[in-house]
Amino acid sequence: MTAHPRNPSTTDPAPRLEPVLDKLRSAYLRHGAPSCSERREHLKRLGQAVLARQESLIAAVSADFGQRSRTEFLLAEVYTVLAAIRHARRHLRGWMRERRVPMAMDFWPARARLRTQPLGVVGIIGPWNYPVLLCLSPLVAALAAGNRVLLKPSELTPRTSSELAALLGGAFPPDQVAVVQGGAEAGAAVAALPLDHLLYTGSTAVGRQVLRAAAENLTPVTLEMGGKSPAIIGPDARLDAAAASILYGKLFNAGQTCIAPDYVLLPEANKDEFVRLARAAAARMYPRFAGNPDYTAIVNRRHWERLLGYLEECRVKGAEVVPLWTAPDGPDAARRILPPSLLIQPGDALAVAREEIFGPLLVVYTYRRLEDAVTFVNARPRPLALYYYGECRADRELILGRIVAGGVTVNDSLLHFVAEGLPFGGIGASGMGAYHGIHGFETFSKKQPIVLQPRFNFTGLLRPPYGKTASMLLSWLIRRP
């Protein structure tokens, strides 16, 4: 694999990125759209770089978090990126194939075609919670579509950002993939550039700022945000399996996952049994939390204090707090290890009921009728993810037909994200647009419509000066409603 100079990066408060963008755009205009074989080679190169540096990536991410589960990192960030690369390389030729489009008889003998073109230079702004996956997964889609890329990793995981810059700088020349490091000012500078497309993953509040900045240049934007994703347990659900699945989805990466179950809705009669099963599931997956390498730390002090604030407010305001751990295996402030807790029926005024939790705290609500659960979810912003547990097809169709969400997994959690054939994206406050698989390829491509007119055709009969022939032909064209 050919090594290239390290990509340009900066930690300046307000970096000047116009020269970086100019270099990327000039290279695209000079070389044009890469062929299928070239794109497959680019993706292969990316996969080889990830495999070659996976130990360095693990060390960097763990250092940024304080403690990050090695197994969860390999599963969520290495395997998932490599699976996306394999999927794209396998299907790329079919995605790129020019397609024939039926042409109405009125326009014969003209023919119609549809081909995909790269957009040119696209930007990717990544988050901190999965700093490798959510930078490289969009990069897979952008490279498959034939684009040049400007990538901004998160400033909250600076070691990982530096490792990504080194990884991509060794795999690609700086006029193909450029990495810019720095703080929030650098992210704002990327959003303000006249890019051909911008994909942002992060909070809804920052997403609004990104959208405003991109609007100045009419840059198309894909926003991947979060929100409060519900897990609805139906009346006939297998409660033990539902509790285990929900706890797995909530505690993976210590709840720092945009599609983690944020709150549970279950029948009133099942609340006490769910609490018991949730405690058992947590103990089964994590026999201890202190010193357990399988359990991830909270990323920084600010988020640690935010989560403790949720717990304290619940205690002060009278909401029931059920720890899923036993003393002395409690919170470790020095290492930012926060064992999970259930928060039972918090009032709507509490922050934990209004804000995305993004941590190992799970809110539990009860309902009397399944329709009440639907009403509860629909009274809130549309979620990024929806989970339903139950066997009755009619109940499932009630949930799927009445609730609009970014993606759905039935009788499990998180799985719709890793299905490369499905689009991943939010709706409303949880995002706009989608990627993964062919949907990512299309997000970063332009569908170019083409009409091919043969030498001998009839369009000349409808050109001025209009006479009898044109009138007769026009009457024939509008002969039917």
Reported as type and span, the H/E element at residue 217 is none
Catalytic position from the list 72, 77, 163, 224: 224
Contacting residues for 238 by C-beta, under 8 A, at least 6 apart: 389, 391
Question: pTM above the 0.85 mark?
Answer: yes
- Is residue 392 part of the annotated active site? The answer reads no
pLDDT at residue 6 tops 50: no
Q: Alpha carbon 147 to chain centroid distance?
A: 19
Q: Alpha carbon 246 to chain centroid distance?
A: 20
- Is residue 314 part of the annotated active site? The answer reads no
- Copy the structure tokens of residue 99: 């397609």
The pLDDT assigned to 23 comes to 97
The pLDDT assigned to 480 comes to 61
For the residues 17-40, what does the mean pLDDT come to?
Answer: 96
The pLDDT assigned to 394 comes to 97
Q: Write down the mean pLDDT value for the chain.
A: 93
Among residues 449, 436, 467, 475, which one has the least CA distance to residue 101?
449
- Scan for tokens 């405003």, then name that residue: 212
The full set of domains in the chain, from first to last, is 18-225+433-446 (3.40.605.10), 229-425 (3.40.309.10)
What is the share, in percent, of the chain residues with pLDDT greater than 90? 85
How many helices and strands, by DSSP H and E, does the chain display?
Answer: 18, 16
Catalytic position from the list 72, 135, 163, 258: 258
Q: How far apart are CA 55 and CA 63, in angstroms?
A: 12
The pLDDT assigned to 377 comes to 97
Q: How far apart are CA 337 and CA 135, in angstroms?
A: 25
For the residues 74-94, what does the mean pLDDT come to?
Answer: 97
pLDDT tens sequence across 154-179: 999 999 999 999 999 999 999 999 99
- DSSP letter (8 states) at residue 76: I
pLDDT tens sequence across 197-233: 999 999 999 999 999 999 999 999 999 998 999 999 9
Contacting residues for 478 by C-beta, under 8 A, at least 6 apart: none
For the residues 363-384, what does the mean pLDDT come to?
Answer: 97
For the residues 360-388, what does the mean pLDDT come to?
Answer: 97
pLDDT at residue 363 tops 70: yes
